[in-house]
Amino acid sequence: MAKDFQASKPIYVQIADHLSYQIVRGELKTGEKLPSVREMAILSGVNPNTIQRTYSEMERMGIVETKRGQGTFVTENEHVLKELKIRLQNDIIAVFVQNMKDLGFSQEDMIKGLQQYLRREEM
């Protein structure tokens, strides 16, 4: 037990997630060009191949579209973006629920705890 320090997701997934967040939040707008593979590699401090894989995965998921010789662009398919948002939301909730469960909280506790937290924050 307890040997999984740094058991982080693959870098190419981390970057994909990061970009997905930016897209969902509108920081990267629909149709907008992403940094080129090489640029992004420098920005992220990783090898271009890793970014290549990130972009490939995102294309496979329909989040971006690549045009040879032109670049990689955020899809304009709103449906895909909506699904993406739902997926990301689900992941967040799943982590939350798991953690709360681990702490021994019931479902009711979770909702109450969240409501209290939000009420406090509002003030």
Partner DNA sequence: GTGGTCTAGACCACA
Partner DNA sequence: GTGGTCTAGACCACG
> With respect to DNA, which residue has the nearer C-beta, 5 or 123?
5
Q: Report the interface residues with a second copy, using CB under 8 A.
A: 1-3, 5-6, 8, 11, 14-15, 18, 21, 24-26, 43-46, 60, 85, 88-90, 92-97, 99-100, 102-105, 107, 110-111, 113-115, 117-118, 121-122
* Token pair for 113: 């705890």
Q: How far is the CB of 18 from DNA (least distance, A)?
A: 13
